Amino acid sequence: MAPRADGRLNHDLLPDEKGPQDACGVFGVWAPGEEVAKLTYFGLYALQHRGQESAGIATSNGSQLLVYKDMGLVSQVFDETALNALQGHIAIGHARYSTTGASNWENAQPTLGPTAAGTVALGHNGNLTNTAELVELVAERYGSQRRGELARGNTTDTALITALLAGDPDHTLESTALEVLPRLRGAFSLVFMDERTLYAARDPQGVRPLVLGRLERGWVVASETPALDIVGASFVREVEPGEFLAIDADGLRSTKFATPERAGCVFEYVYLARPDTTIAGRSVHAARVEMGRKLALEHPTEADLVIPVPESGTPAAVGYAQQSGIPFGQGLTKNAYVGRTFIQPSQTLRQLGIRLKLNPLREVIRGKRLVVVDDSIVRGNTQRALIRMLREAGAAEVHVRISSPPVKWPCFYGIDFASRAELIANGLSADEIAASLGADSLGYISEEALIEATEQPASQLCTACFSGRYPIELPPADRLGKNLLEQNELPLGAPEDGLVSILPGGGAATALDHP
């Protein structure tokens, strides 16, 4: 199931067709006197579009840290009973889509580890590029015996960060973090905590968003601004690239652990972020409308109606209609109530053209020359099925317009695209792709126009998935990959005895107690 940029959940047109997947949503709160677990629940609810595989919340009351996590959506994992058990004044939360390590309970977050004075719980949005190097660092510092989360079968780069933060018995978590953070490479927006302090950190490039908000009685950090809005927190500022924050009874402390080298992900503006998010001072909705306007200037056509592919294509379609003067209309209706289904359609149902997500409004489409606006094309299977559906509904012409450039390169910073061989834009021109999809024409926005729509300097954006220019150096291919930590030859040995005691009631919750 692909996350859509409207923050709601629905299937792609084709049940097996996976769109670009983001890495995760993170949320943290320090607020004495507030119900921090419920604040975190609603914060994660606002970030559900960033990951739907698992969800978890950790809380602390100052002396005991509890974690509750499980596979599924935020609303499936938590109920009133679970949230009421998570007492305290500090909390962090995480909604996961896997970009490193398999999608299973062992890899759900927050992750846990013992520190010199207590426990660390950590949530991570992004993807590290020096995972293999960090495996060697963990083995060098603490021996090849697997520890903590790694001992319990966690195969994520997040577990490695946790192992490094938790491993130093002679230093505080804060001082250990300031030593570990400069050694991480790639994309990381982190929220973590011990029994008394909330921490946040963002990589020097600021690839993934992370914002700071103020409550009347505390502070909030979150992946996107709507998570601040939903809990009534006022936006203060972005967490700066290369910045480390600590929030406790003494207030908020900020430390720069690296020199900022901004390279924010441009795909956040195209697709990943909610439209009501603001990134680097720019409204994502406004950026998408402007992408549509520029698309109309670069790829005009004669048509009767502009229709979006709901919902992420809608703002760009509005902009295309405004600029071109062609009326905007809703030609496709969406089933907004399709949740995650595990029922795979049979071949017979496939041949009948199962439509879990979209259905055409025939009376709107019949006889019309259509401009169909979507945010991106990855493999092209969804667009091919969509165009066939529109023609069956009576469309006279179908002109496809895409509000991002051709996706030609993999992302190593937290988006799980199809493999390079599967990307339809590799080796085919726009006209050849149009023919393959069955469209009358196809136009992609240029990279230059896309960047202009974000109102950010080109030098401060990552466009690697379009351009192949990677702002953070990549290791050799054999030291990259989603399942790197599941390889047996890495220098981490057999698991040690477990660290965590399970709370009564099942496998979804863990607790670490310290005097």
Written as one letter, the residue type at 453 is A
- Rounded to whole angstroms, the Cα distance separating 450 from 443 reads 13
* CB burial string 107-136: b at 16+ within 10 A, e below: bbbbbbbbbeebbbbbbbbbbbbbbbbbbe
Q: What is the β-pairing status of strands 64-71 and 234-238?
A: unpaired
- 436 annotated as ligand-binding: no
Look at residue 20 in the predicted model and tell me its pLDDT. 53
Which domains occur in the chain, in start order? 21-263 (3.60.20.10), 283-335+345-457 (3.40.50.2020)
Q: Distance between CA atoms of 289 and 316, rounded to whole angstroms?
A: 5
Please tell me the distance from the alpha carbon of residue 163 to that of residue 329, in angstroms, as a whole number: 53
**Gap between the Cα atoms of 497 and 488, Å rounded:** 19
- C-alpha 129/C-alpha 479 separation (Å) is 8
**375 annotated among ligand-binding-site residues:** yes
Tell whether 404 is in a known binding site: no
CA angle 245, 112, 90 (to 5 degrees): 45
411 annotated to a ligand binding site: yes
3-state secondary structure of 71: strand
Residues 297, 338 contacting (CB under 8 angstroms)? no
Q: Tell me: is residue 467 an annotated ligand-binding position.
A: no
Is 383 one of the catalytic residues? no
pTM of the model: 0.88
Largest interatomic CA distance in the chain:
74
- Residue 340 has a pLDDT of 44
Q: Rounded CA gap, 466 and 15, in Å?
A: 26
Contact 101, 208 (CB under 8 A): no
pLDDT given at position 117: 85
Burial 393-419 (b: 16+ CB within 10 A, else e): bebebbbbbbbbbbbbbbbbbbbbbbe
pLDDT at 496: 42
Beta strand residue intervals within 467-508, DSSP E: 501-502
Q: One of 2, 9, 24, 132 is an active-site residue; which one?
A: 24
Residue 12 labelled as part of a binding site: no
- Residue 146 has a pLDDT of 65
CA distances from 263 to 1, 178, 209, 266, 464 (A): 28, 22, 11, 9, 10
Quote the CA–CA distance of 454 and 191 in Å, as a whole number: 26
The confidence score (pLDDT) of residue 159 equals: 87
Q: First vs last Cα of the chain: how many Å apart?
A: 43
Instruction: Please list the rounded mean pLDDT of every run of 10 residues in the chain (515 residues).
Output: 35 47 84 97 95 92 94 92 96 80 70 89 94 90 73 82 86 94 97 97 98 97 98 98 98 98 97 96 98 98 96 95 98 71 54 68 97 94 91 97 96 84 91 97 98 98 96 85 58 44 36 34
Backbone angles phi, psi at 384, to 5 degrees: -65, -45
